[in-house]
A and B are shown apart, each in its own frame.
Chain A
Amino acid sequence: MNFKVVLKVISLLLILTGLLMLSGIPFSIYYGDDDIIALIISAIITSSVGLLAWFGTRKSDDRELGKREGYLIVTFGWVSMALFGALPFLIYGAIPNYTDAFFETMSGFTTTGATILEDIEVIPHGLLFWRSLTQWLGGMGIIVLSIAILPLLGIGGMQLFAAEVPGVTKDKLHPRIKETAKRLWGIYVIFTFTEVVLLLVGGMSLFDAINHSFTTMATGGFSTKNASTAHFASPFIQYVFILFMFLAGMNFTLHYLGFHGKLSFFKHNTEFRTYLFFILGATLFITLLHLSEVAFNWEESVRQSLFHVISLVTTTGYVSSDYEHWAPFSRIIFFILLFVGGCAGSTGGGIKFVRHTLLFKNSILELKRLIHPRAVIPVRFNEKAVGPDIISNVQAFFIFYIMIFVFSAAILSLLGLDFFTAIGATATCLGNVGPGIGTVGPLNNFAHLPDIVKWILSFLMLLGRLELFTVLIIFSPVYWKS
């Protein structure tokens, strides 16, 4: 293990994080807010710690960056970004308690969107912008961003890329990792920009449009309004959200192919089809339940159902009405949706469609294998046979995920949370969704939870965003044995 290289890359991340803190200042100036000093102080602290660490380690050799270093860099890079990213909230005093500020920042970077803020609208604009920006950076990944813009070495970059980007296998859009990272961020920026324009057309202010575009494309779910997206009562705006949440939950490789005019993935990509049909099915189901409950009109009912299904499936976590008061049965559906997740290579969290599909197909095929013990029956995905190593990887992920969920929920209830809150908070944080059920439901927040619970939940968010293995591996004895 070469700790110097690890520290060097993390220090670069901190310098970058510090500089990015300043990007909300134009809004503070425009709105005449008093958070500029807090942002500048935080940026100075963060960047100087980064610079100090960089000066101590800059001579280390990038070629020493291997698999082990990659995992450590990504995990601790994210932790330190959240540790320092919390400073603006703390220094300004918007969130006086460090635990809360850390929770909010971790929730931002991991694109969870769970908040401890009781009143969002009193927060000055510069801080709100930073809050949304953490989500946008975390969505496509700040490591991927660093690979794209910082001169990190290609080989080391691959290790970092693999440790941060979600999915079972990591697709490359270009033979070189730096170019791949540039293309991914390029698509991300184009989509975000388009959404900003559409939201402006829908009548939103520029500030709100940018913030909401950040949090939609990142499948994050932070809003600048207390009532979240319900604040904007326009159906047009809601459709824009629906469209972009859907796009953000797709594999960005498909977008890349789409930009190049290759649209055949619609027919061939198993994950995309499952994603599409699952959303349509769940929407239909909830619309029907919803209709029998209340006498809504058709259009609104479909729109509300679609919005919430996509919001939870892609792990965005926007809410526009309190689904907890819908039919009791839809509540359990919404709870189940917390475990779905977006597609591999998307900005969404959760278990993800690729894993569900592979596991389901494999389980069905297992029945066939029982009848024909000597038959060779591989799982087919994207019209190709999938190797046993991938299936085994996915099974391990799934088992870890469920075990972590069960143990964490048990611990939370041991710490005094009621049953619904415990399982809701665990599932929503581990899946990077945002709203849960019980006292952390769509219209509540996480402020009332004990500090220790907030730290546990922050850890779960990190686990979920980095897809378990990257973090868990550091806790395994094998990792530290040379």
Chain B
Amino acid sequence: MRIIIAGMGDVGYHLAKELSQDEHDIIAIDQDQQRLSYTDSMTDVLTITGSSTSIEILKEAKVDKADLFVGVTSTEAVNVASAILAKKLGAKKTIARISNAEYMEKETEKMFTELGIDFMIYPEELAAQETFNLINRTAATDVMEFEEGKLSVIGLRLDKNAPIIRKTVSEIAYEYQNFDFRIVALHRNFRTIIPMGKDKFLPNDQVFIITKPEGIEMVLKLAGKENIDFNNIMILGGSKIGRRVAKLLSDKMKVKLIESDEEKSLALADDLQDTLVIRGDGRDIDLLAQEGIIDVDAYIAVTDDAETNIISCLMAKHLGVTKAIALVDKADYIPLTQTIGLDSLINKKLLAANNISRFIRKGEILSLTSLEGIDAEVLEYIAQPNSPITKKPVKGLDFPKEAIIGGIIRGKESLIAVGDTKIRADDKVVIFLLPGAIKKIEKLFK
């Protein structure tokens, strides 16, 4: 596919990198020459310096031949305007990143479709949803659900006393052969691998495990964790994300929201009836103590400043909060979480990029997600009748070693893949893979 990406910020860069690895033709437009030369040296794309709202620049990018235009600059108006222009100039599909929840409503969405924008992406909403999921799965660093929870992928950091520590994959498989789960990715020292037979697990490894709903508790035990129900939540920052998270959580839990801006906090208090809005600085330890940080189960820092979020989360951890989640939009910081002891990071730009690539790869691929902070991706694929994948049991397949089959959804049932599992036509298959393996996988499913 020929894809034009306007805006080489974090979202655009991440998208360009991912899509070019899947052999799409990527044209990157940005006004910042330096950002483009960085993109050029790190990815296989064609770069054009200029504004994406300029017709001349769009023509130079051969927008009439483009299958997709993606507007992901930092300015909403630019994204909307350039997507409309691109559509009128001949781009087949357009995506624009927006920062206004109103646009996502059903009726307005239709209006935008008429204008020429096929898909809108609102990163703040994605971040809020992700936070919500994490709070519901307290022990996990990441949670992903497939087919309304028939299969879940849970990211966990292994505790020192976890029962699977220092055991190999084969040993664990033998020991727990009655339980339905599969360890699909392992992240250690900034590298992601797909663990096979003799790979051992060490304390502090981040592992990703796929399981069925009834296996979740067992999986948590394996990692030395237990799921606790959260009652007290404290949110720092009344930005769009903070507001949305508070709304989502305040039905079932007690939520306190700290915001330093006076006007903003008033507006929040007006909007969020069930939430206690507190005006103050989240780095102020006295304030936190006064508001009962000791009793808080989860602390969510979602101000616009990544450093503030990290620091205040660390402080919350120090004061004994079970789970701290920080919004960190600087991709460079993601690998640090493990080192500094944060539970989870939310990166709305990465979420946005993933959401867009999911849209792009729709078709035979049902969905695709990147696991945050690590190099692996998760695909959901439908096995076509008579495709090579359906011919042999899993262990007999010529499956690339950069990938692993996690689970299968067959009608209403779900299965965790083992060596003897045989995939049938129309099964939905959840696959984990490292970048670059997608082509080989595609062949197996056709």
What is A's interface to B at a CB cutoff of 8 Å? 62-63, 67, 153-155, 157-159, 162, 172, 174-177, 179, 387
In this complex, how many residues of chain B approach chain A with their Cβ under 8 Å: the count is 17
Majority DSSP secondary structure for residues of B touching A: mixed
Binding site for A on B (CB under 8 A): 2, 20-21, 23, 25-27, 33, 40-46, 435-436
Contact among B2, B21, B41 for A154, CB-based, below 8 A = B21
B188 to chain A, nearest CB (A): 16
- Within the complex, which residue of B27, B33, B44, B46 is in contact with A155, where a contact is CB–CB below 8 Å? B44
Q: Which residues of A contact B20 (CB under 8 A)?
A: 154-155, 175-176
**A172-B46, A175-B46, A176-B25 known; A67 and B41 CB under 8 Å?**
yes
Q: For residue A259, give the distance in angstroms from its CB to the closest CB of chain B.
A: 16
Q: Are A157 and B44 in contact (CB under 8 A)?
A: yes
In angstroms, Cα B42 to Cα A387, docked, is 21
The answer to whether B40 touches A175, judged by C-beta atoms less than 8 angstroms apart, is no
In the complex, which residues of chain A have a beta carbon less than 8 angstroms from the beta carbon of B2? Answer: 175
Q: Which residue of A lies closest to B17 (CB)?
A: A155
Shortest beta-carbon distance, B317 to chain A, in Å?
32
Q: Which 10 A-B pairs have the closest CB atoms?
A: A154-B44, A175-B25, A175-B46, A172-B46, A177-B44, A175-B26, A158-B44, A155-B44, A175-B27, A176-B44
A-B contact pairs, 17 of them (CB 8 A): A154-B20, A154-B23, A155-B21, A155-B42, A155-B43, A155-B44, A157-B44, A158-B40, A158-B41, A158-B43, A162-B41, A174-B46, A175-B25, A175-B27, A175-B44, A175-B46, A176-B25
Residues of B within 8 A of A154 (CB): 20-21, 23, 44
Complex Cα distance, B44 from A62, in Å, reads 14
Residues of B within 8 A of A153 (CB): 436
- Nearest-CB residue, chain B, relative to A384: B49
Considering the chains assembled together, what is the distance between the CA atoms of A158 and B20 in angstroms? 12
Contacts of A159 in B (CB 8 A): 41
| Contacting residues, chain A, for B41 (C-beta < 8 A) | 67, 158-159, 162
Specify the chain A residue showing the minimal Cβ separation from B26: A175
Give the chain B neighbours of A174 by CB distance below 8 A. Answer: 25, 46
Q: Is B436 in contact with A175, judged by CB distance below 8 angstroms?
A: no
**Is there contact, CB below 8 Å, between A175 and B435?**
no
Q: Contacting A63 at CB < 8 Å: which of B25, B33, B46, B436?
A: B436
When C-beta atoms are compared, the residue in chain B nearest to A67 turns out to be B41
From B21, B42, B45, contact of A175 by CB (8 A): B45
Q: How far is the CA of A62 from the CA of B20 in the complex (A)?
A: 15
Apart from A159-B41, A176-B23: 9 A-B pairs, beta carbons within 8 A: A62-B436, A154-B20, A154-B21, A155-B21, A158-B43, A162-B41, A175-B44, A175-B46, A176-B20
B46 contacts across to A, CB distance below 8 A: 172, 174-175
Establish whether residues A387 and B26, one from each chain, have CB atoms under 8 Å apart when the complex forms. Answer: no
**Which of chain B's residues have a CB closer than 8 A to the CB of A387?**
33
* A159 and B26 alpha carbons, distance in the complex (Å): 17
Q: Which residue of A lies closest to B47 (CB)?
A: A172
Q: How far is the CA of A177 from the CA of B20 in the complex (A)?
A: 10
Chain A, residue nearest B42 (CB): A155
Which of chain A's residues have a CB closer than 8 A to the CB of B21?
Answer: 154-155
On whether the beta carbons of B435 and A63 are closer than 8 Å, the reply is: yes
> Shortest beta-carbon distance, A90 to chain B, in Å?
39
A187–B25 alpha-carbon span in the complex (Å): 21
Cβ–Cβ < 8 Å partners of A162 in chain B: 41
State A249–B44 Cα separation when bound (angstroms).
Answer: 27
